Amino acid sequence: MPPPPSIYSYKPKTAQIQDLDESLQPARKIWPSLVTVTFCLPYNVNGLRNTYCKPISISDIFITFTNNIIIPEKLIYLHPLYNYAILTYDKTLLGETPIKAIELSDKKLVQGDSIYLIGICNDCTPVVKKTTVKRIINVYLSKCFSQRWKALNFEDIRLDDFIDSLAVGDIILTINNNMVTKMSDLPITFHYLEEVDILILHDGKELNIKVKTTPYYGKETTKIIGWSGAIIQEPYKAALERIKNVPTGVYITFIYNGLPALKLKQGVWIVELQGRKVNDIDSFLKAIYAHEKEIKEKPEENNDGYVRIKTISGTNVTEVVTMKLDPCYWDIWQLVEDKEALTGWKFIET
């Protein structure tokens, strides 16, 4: 096979901001601050495909300034609830391009407010529309398969010892003595806390309970594995929030057609491999390597290349399947986070 292409070297470049017509006056004020972000997903991970947003951490990301300069960027933080990402780029690559940091308003919109909607069309030209806030409601998005991130109309609170403390229909009154009257009040009350005190209204009575929160470190997926045509990763938030009893194991996020892994099912947990327990992605790798070593030492126990896999579905259905491996063509590989790499990720063939 030919050698891989060398890494592209980016050089500083200067461009001018487009001079907009007077009729687009509201856009002229923020045009030096608007950019377009291109997100390239190399593998189907977390139930997502390629798109022009930044939904997960594993990706190649590029940002376009003034519809002229395209440079790479890296993810710093991906918020699990508010649907925004913090990215970083090398500003020296912009040369003397007159970009500006946008000024954000802290005013909360209410029904009846007059606003300007400003956006960028597909051809990177501005669009401006004066409109009015009609109403503000909580958004509900229906379930999707494969499980992938979606905006929630409530805070994602994980319950451990207190599974029987909250029930459907309970009303949250206060969190840590802070009154809760709308959805946006929820995260403010428990940022950076491992446990919170919640006052709820349950069956007509006020109850005080303690609830543990789930930590989030800004990057949900930092490692994926390709194995016999299956993309395997640690369970992600969108998969965890739809199952009551979460299995201990690794999650099959995608399966390519025509490959050995087609015997498996997408959206299930691998909990055991050839009799070896799988607790996380590292123990899964150890189980694979141990099986490969065992076959080399005892070729007579190869079982014609078949391996036994135990899985558990999102509805807690256990299934044991056998899959014929083909390591010559479909060996195992890894994609792991690497802060020194240009895109922030490193491909490892094992």
Mean pLDDT of 179-207: 79
Could you tell me the CATH number of the domain that includes residue 311?
A: 2.30.42.10
Whether 237 and 342 map to the same domain: the answer is: yes
Res 154: pLDDT: 38
In a domain, 114, yes or no: no
Whether 198 and 242 map to the same domain: the answer is: no
Banded pLDDT at 153 (limits 50, 70, 90): very low
Res 189: pLDDT: 60
Whether 206 and 234 map to the same domain: the answer is: no
Mean pLDDT of 193-206: 85
Whether 199 and 242 map to the same domain: the answer is: no
CA dist., res. 130 & res. 114, Å (int): 7
Range of the domain at 208: 171-212
Poorest-pLDDT segment among 92-101, 135-144, 218-227: 135-144
Coil, strand or helix at 103: coil
In a domain, 62, yes or no: no
pLDDT one-digit tens code per residue, 10-38:
888 898 888 888 888 888 888 898 888 88
Does residue 147 carry a pLDDT above 50? Answer: yes
Whether 203 and 317 map to the same domain: the answer is: no
Does residue 260 carry a pLDDT above 70? Answer: yes
Whether 260 and 194 map to the same domain: the answer is: no
Mean pLDDT of 308-325: 90
How many domains, in total, are found in the chain?
2
Res 46: pLDDT: 58
Return the residue matching tokens 């999650």. 251
CA dist., res. 238 & res. 298, Å (int): 41
Q: Residue 187 corresponds to which tokens in the numbers above?
A: 């995260």
Res 276: pLDDT: 93
Res 211: pLDDT: 80
When the pLDDT of each residue in the chain is averaged and rounded to a whole number, the result is 79
Does residue 186 carry a pLDDT above 50? Answer: yes
Whether 234 and 312 map to the same domain: the answer is: yes
Give the end of a domain, one of 155, 183, 212.
212
In a domain, 69, yes or no: no
In a domain, 287, yes or no: yes
In a domain, 92, yes or no: no
In a domain, 271, yes or no: yes
Banded pLDDT at 150 (limits 50, 70, 90): low
Res 159: pLDDT: 27
Whether 208 and 227 map to the same domain: the answer is: no
Poorest-pLDDT segment among 73-82, 143-152, 197-206, 260-269: 143-152
Banded pLDDT at 163 (limits 50, 70, 90): very low
CA dist., res. 46 & res. 239, Å (int): 8
What number of other Cβ atoms are within 10 A of residue 288's Cβ? Answer: 22
Mean pLDDT of 265-278: 92
